[in-house]
Structure 1
Amino acid sequence: MKIAFIVEGFPVLSQTFVLNQITGLIDRGHEVDIYAEVQDDSRKIHPTIEQYRLLERTYYQPLQPHDKLQRVLKALRLFVPCFLEDPDLVLRSINVFKYGKSAASLRLFYSVIPFLGNRNTYDVIQCHFGLLGIKGMMLREVGAIQGKLVTAFHGVDISQNLDLLGENLYDDLFKVGDCFLPISQHWRNRLAQLGCPSGRTFIHHMGIDCQKFTFIPRIPAPEQPIRLISIARLTEKKGIEYGIRAVAKILKRYSNIEYLIVGSGELRERLAQIIQGLGVEAQIKLIGWKNQQEVIDILNHSHILLAPSVTASDGNQEGIPVALMEAMAMGLPVISTYHSGIPELVEDDVSGFLVPERNIEALANKLEDLLQQPERWVKMGQSGRSRVEEQFNINKLNDRLVEIYQALIETGQSNLHQEHNRTDSASTNSDVFIPSTSTSL
């Protein structure tokens, strides 16, 4: 199969789930092209990017200035060479009568540039996050790309994005999209509330390559510190502040623990100030971004993972954190929250503990429970590993994804076990707008 991935940024350091999906499809003999708006920090390229030479498969559109005047001036400079290359597609992309705001804002013009003179037909157009699904829909409508349109919903796209842009945001996408893949039952339920057709909607977890994560029974070594670990972007929804405060709360009683926080993000300075204010710099450390192999090495020498996720003040929510899957696959008991799809991965009091969001006292209490019962760690770790192997194994999930794609291509239906009558006559109109995707990650 020939598959196009439409994403906002690539490579994105925190989105190993997209990377694992792309490389898994390539390993299965499929041809993958990647269309992205921006390139992440090239100084921190994931080794897999180089191994698969993925940047050679990636096509970037010109950066769209946020300032309207600058966006227009840049478009004017681009217009003549673009028009000479593919006049028909360029003129359609600025047809405000047919494509309304998307054309008037010039977002559609910038979006079609990677396709000028090379309008590929794909078997599948895989869009990650709902706003990119809208973009894929518009690109297909304008004739820049062809193929079955599949949209994966992760969390922010059906939480914060709806708060910002309205609950009718995806109405047109639901009409013409061929398949919708929420990453959890929690988000499938939310899509159903929004009117997403159930016959074209399937839970498809993000997953990990379990073979890369060796199970190690977690047993505290005498006279050695117990290491707690969090692996996350330093953003509000990751709840790291609550992990810091919970650990600080018990340090006087458990002086033999250290807490390492892996990741980078806009809250780093604030979190550093909190650690300093609590006077716990010696035990709680922000150690920055690490690549996957470095993360594995750190997990090899850790005992308990904290993932205190919360709903952010702007409505942003998690999907199911990949860091939880990785830690559980390696045998760490985990402490997380009743947030989004996390309870579909972590079974309370079986593979770890779940507590209410933003509850520092509950986090501290469950952490103490684990510290006082190290004899439970091995069994919890075994339960976590089994859960990940059964339901979050990327190899099984990629096989399933190929089945979904093949069913779409062969029958025109994504549902493998039930009939569904889809209205193919639905089309986009001038009221559809490609929103800025800057809020989608």
Structure 2
Amino acid sequence: MTDKPLKVLHYSPVWLPLTETWLYSQVRHLPAPIDNHIVCRSVKNLYQFEVPNIHCLKWENPVSYLLHRALFVAGFREGFGFFDKVAARIRPDLVHSHFGNNGWTVHKAVRRLSVPHVVTFYGQDVSRMPAVNPAWRERYREMFADEGTFYLCEGHAMAKALAGLGCPAERIRVQHLGVPVETIRYQPRAWTPGTPLKVLIAASFHERKGIPYALEALARLNREVPVEITVIGDAGASEESREEKRKIMEVIERMDLGPVTRMLGFQPHEVFWREAYANHLFLSPSITGHDGDTEGGAPVAIIELAASGMPIVSSRHCDIPEIVLDGQTGWLADERDVEGLLDCLRQCLAAAPEWDGILAAGRRRIETEYDAATQGRRLAGIYRQLVGSGH
């Protein structure tokens, strides 16, 4: 007996920035009986993130798109009339909003539909936004009052943070993000003492990524072991991001890392993978920013690269310790702890003869808890449970 089709309307204002590969993977790996529809303002990178049933305001009504964009820039956040039109047309069984702030934008419209609403929080929406703009705390409390709305997050640290904002704990579910493990070639890295250690850093330039601390630790390691550093990522449009780039470049200059550092800027995912297999180790020491910004869960790159057989050195931040088991599948330092990172790097190199066992354990953990197809089936199960329970 096969499950009956379930029509799910996903709301994401832009489908899809290059940094949200994980969202595409999440939708694409929902099992066949789930009939997915996307409602958005505009599309980007469709060559990489094409899915059926995209309902795009900019395509259907360019004038309304310009008006909506002007209102958004002016600070008007509530409501998205195009969402109501698409919902009336396709009559979904359930709505899934991606990011908490987007869930709030359409929560009244979903209430009018009388269908379950799933809202997934991913990071800044649970940390930085409520810290920088207290209005979001009140908006979230308003959304949390909707009894037909349920909340997903990547791990238990984020679940605790969400409950701290006033979300009823009984309506929070931990749903790990998945990566397509079957498409990720497992190639356990090996490093030979006496040869340069090739280290990959891959992240957009935000304070929460901890890149200056990573570079400080590598500069100190470089006095003991020759290192070659590859950085994929760059500053975005925000002043905060540009300021972080200035800090990164200052560390590179001050620590004389220029001759051993390649700055590749933003790159498509295929370049990320090419560089991943050409390097020995992934360094990703996330921190809590001064404005409260966090990963919320964990960088998806950690999941991907652990699946590929790459040693991970990271930090005890948010849900990273759920993915990287310290001393078993990788190494973790405290946040902002350069000495701790250096110690982790030394431990990693000392364990080089045993990397095969450590990396195999990391791959197994990703296969068990972070495989996209498995997580897609689990997400579909959540959908069916909510629809079937009459919420």
TM-score, normalising length: structure 1: 0.77
Could you give the per-residue CA deviations for residues 166-211 of structure 1, whole angstroms, max 9, x where no partner exists? Answer: 5444222122143111211111122233332233221001111101
On the 8 A contact 1:151/1:179 being kept in 2, the answer is yes
Q: What is the CA-CA distance between 1:303 and the residue it aligns to?
A: 1.3
How many Å separate the matches in 1 of 2:326 and 2:279? 20
Residues 262-316 of structure 1 show CA distances to partners (whole Å, capped at 9, x for unaligned) of 1222333542343123221121222122222222222112211111100011101
In structure 2, do the counterparts of structure 1 residues 295 and 106 end up closer, same or farther at CA, with 3 Å as the change threshold?
closer
Q: What is the alpha-carbon root mean square deviation over aligned residues?
A: 2.6
2:33 is equivalent to residue 33 of structure 1: no
The residue identity in structure 2 corresponding to 1:317 is T
2:17 counterpart of 1:5: no
Deviation at 1:216, TM superposition (A): 1.4
Structure 1, unaligned runs of 5 or more: 72-104, 414-441
Please give the residue correspondences for 1:32-431 in structure 2 after superposition, counting only pairs within 5 Å: 32-39=36-43, 42=44, 45=45, 47-50=47-50, 52=51, 56-60=54-58, 62-63=65-66, 107-108=77-78, 111-113=80-82, 115-116=84-85, 119-120=88-89, 121-141=91-111, 143=112, 147-163=115-131, 164-165=133-134, 167-176=137-146, 177-221=148-192, 224-255=195-226, 257-265=227-235, 266=241, 267-318=244-295, 319-412=297-390
**Per-residue CA distance 1:112-146 (angstroms, 9 max, x = gap):** 135448723211111111111111202224x5x66
**Which amino acid letter does the alignment assign opposite residue 211 of structure 2?**
I
Give the 3-state SS of the residue equivalent to 2:145 in structure 1. helix
Change (3 A) 1:216 1:191: same
Contact 2:178 2:371 in 1 (8 A): yes
Question: Structure 1 residues 225 and 23, CA, compared in 2 at 3 Å: closer, same or farther?
Answer: same
Amino acid aligned to 1:62: Y
User: Matches of 1:17 and 1:371 in 2, distance apart?
Assistant: 30
How far apart in 1 are the matches of 2:96 and 2:158? Answer: 18
Worse-matched range after superposition: 332-341 or 276-285: 276-285
Give the SS at the match of 2:36.
strand
Cα distance per residue 1:351-404 (max 9 Å; x no partner): 111111011111112112222331132222111111111111111110011111
Q: Is the 8 A contact 1:33 1:58 kept in 2?
A: no
Please give the secondary structure, in 1, of the residue aligned with 2:40: strand
Q: Secondary structure at the match of 1:157?
A: coil
Gap change, CA 1:378 and 1:63, over 3 Å in 2? farther
Could you tell me how far 1:331 is from its partner in structure 2? Answer: 1.1
Distance 1:379 1:309 in 2: 25
Distance in 1 between residues matched to 2:25 and 2:248, nearest whole Å: 30
User: How many angstroms apart in 2 are the aligned matches of 1:70 and 1:191?
Assistant: 27
Query: Take 2:48 and 2:319, find their aligned partners in 1: how far apart are those partners?
Result: 27
C-alpha deviation, 1:106, in angstroms? 5.2
Cα 1:278–1:398 shift into 2, 3 Å: same
- Specify the SS of the correspondent of 1:259: strand
Deviating more after overlay: 258-267 vs 331-340: 258-267
Which deviates more from structure 2 when the two are superposed, residues 176-185 or residues 236-245? 176-185
Rg larger for: 1
On the 8 A contact 2:40/2:55 being kept in 1, the answer is no
Structure 2: 5+ residue stretches without partners: 1-5, 59-63, 236-240
Match of 2:22 among 11, 17, 24: 17
Report the residue type matching 2:184 in the other structure.
Answer: F
Percent pairwise identity = 24
CA, structure 1 residues 352+233, in 2 after alignment: closer, same or farther (shift >3 Å)?
same
d(CA) in 2 for partners of 1:19 and 1:68? 27
User: SS of 2:151's equivalent?
Assistant: strand
Query: Shift of the alpha carbon at 1:150?
Result: 0.4
- Which SS does the other structure have where 2:19 is aligned? coil
CA distance in 1, matches of 2:99, 2:182: 27
Query: In structure 2, do the counterparts of structure 1 residues 114 and 403 end up closer, same or farther at CA, with 3 Å as the change threshold?
Result: closer
**Secondary structure of the structure 2 residue equivalent to 1:219:** coil
283-292 or 246-255, larger mean C-alpha shift: 283-292
Q: Residue 77 of structure 2 contacts residue 105 of structure 2 at CA under 8 Å; is this kept in 1?
A: no
